[in-house]
A and B are shown apart, each in its own frame.
Chain A
């Protein structure tokens, strides 16, 4: 996930908050529509994020501080 974007966690928090606000019925119509539109965009963004982001490759931090791709199978084969 790109770091410059808002974190998924924060997006979910905003969504939850928005939904609670909308459900409270205390937001006026104009504001509701704006919040709703924004939140729907956010939902789609999150959904896209979940579906489109590729499976992450695990990394291992070696003793010298360098990072390498890591997979159990490879590790165990080299050790066996």
Chain B
């Protein structure tokens, strides 16, 4: 016998669990049925079964998901739920781990809601860039809701309490039933003509079906198209409608919408007081600053010592004067020096020298001239021969028998050439 063929219970269970968990169909199961054996554990987990006419499956909803539930499940309630199917090893039971659960009957609406939400979201109707700012101090507020009931009463009483100076105009509308969506659209369009600062669109709490008109596409589009900023106020805090997503601001309740729409008048008065105080403070600062500036001017050296204004100029004048003076003096001195030099010059001291030297020079010239005077040579025994006033330098200049005049130192001797005799040199 081969014992190794035999599995442990744990092994089999783990195998089964693995089978469950690898089956894609079982990872996300949409299931409808009726709740039975419902127990809310102190840990916050829900334990119950889902059954129909033929079958039953154990179900568990962990606290993390149970907390998000908008209703408390109870036995006999018909529900639509979503979860994964797996095996709880300790008991060997398969069960559905519920992630989300809504009441059946509203199921179709729920799907329609999700589909419309996705469609409009894809179109960008919920985009932040389209959200218009809500004015802080509205003067005229439009309200679209039923003329009776908690919603209008809450809105009006809140506005009157907080900001009674604001005009309110009610555009009465059906807010539930088949005709409501068209009425809402009509009133939203009508409200555009009333010069409103903000428009509150809403109704009080109720069932999902009651609030359904606010999940209608035409209402959503009318809100989106509104030129007036829209605050949506549908039902209670937990109720979300398509109108909430598409409006410029979502209020949790009608009262909340009124609070968001208007400031509190006493807060406003307080704000004005604060403005006043801040302005005074700022003004004081500016004046103080100017005063300090003025004081600093007043006590400035120049104003305290007016001399200071022209003292530098005076100094400059002195300086210029001094410079001028030295320049002039220098020039004067230079002229004076030249004069002294001139005065001391030898010529002025002995003006004789000017002509003394000339006399000497003349004498020298005369001497020179004297030396060159041919007649002076005659004194030394030389004589000059002329023939009819021509100087006779060579023997061939004269012929025998001609007359010659001989110039001596003291006179002329008239001679006759007797013969010529050349010197042999």
Contacts and interface: CB of A to CB of B under 8 A. Distances in A.
A40 B279 contact: yes
Interface of A: 1, 3, 7-9, 12, 15-16, 18-19, 22-23, 25, 27, 29, 32-33, 36, 39-40, 43, 46-47, 49-51, 53-56, 58-62, 67, 70, 72, 75-76, 79
B282 A23 contact: yes
Given A7-B137, A56-B166, A61-B172, 18 more contacts: A9-B135, A9-B137, A9-B139, A18-B279, A22-B283, A23-B285, A25-B285, A25-B289, A27-B286, A36-B282, A40-B276, A40-B279, A49-B165, A56-B168, A58-B168, A59-B170, A67-B169, A75-B147
B135 A50 contact: no
Interface residues of B, number: 42
B272 interface: yes
A29 B287 contact: yes
User: In this complex, which of B152, B160, B272 has the most chain A Cβ atoms within 10 angstroms of its Cβ?
Assistant: B272
B167 A56 contact: yes
A61 B169 contact: yes
22 contacts: A1-B165, A7-B137, A9-B197, A12-B136, A19-B278, A19-B279, A19-B282, A25-B282, A32-B283, A39-B275, A40-B279, A49-B165, A51-B269, A56-B167, A58-B170, A60-B169, A60-B172, A61-B170, A61-B194, A75-B147, A75-B148, A79-B148
Nearest to A62: B172
B165 A53 contact: yes
> Chain A: interface secondary structure?
helix
Interface in B141-169: 147-148, 152-153, 156-157, 160, 164-169
Nearest to A59: B169
Contacts, number: 107
B167 A43 contact: no
Contacts of A62: 172
B290 interface: yes
User: In this complex, which of B160, B169, B171, B289 has the most chain A Cβ atoms within 10 angstroms of its Cβ?
Assistant: B169
B378 interface: no
Contacts of B167: 1, 56, 59
B180 to A, nearest CB: 15
A72 B156 CA distance: 8
B164 A56 contact: yes
A26 to B, nearest CB: 10
B137 A72 contact: no
Nearest to B291: A29
B112 interface: no
Given A50-B268, A59-B168, A9 B279 contact: no
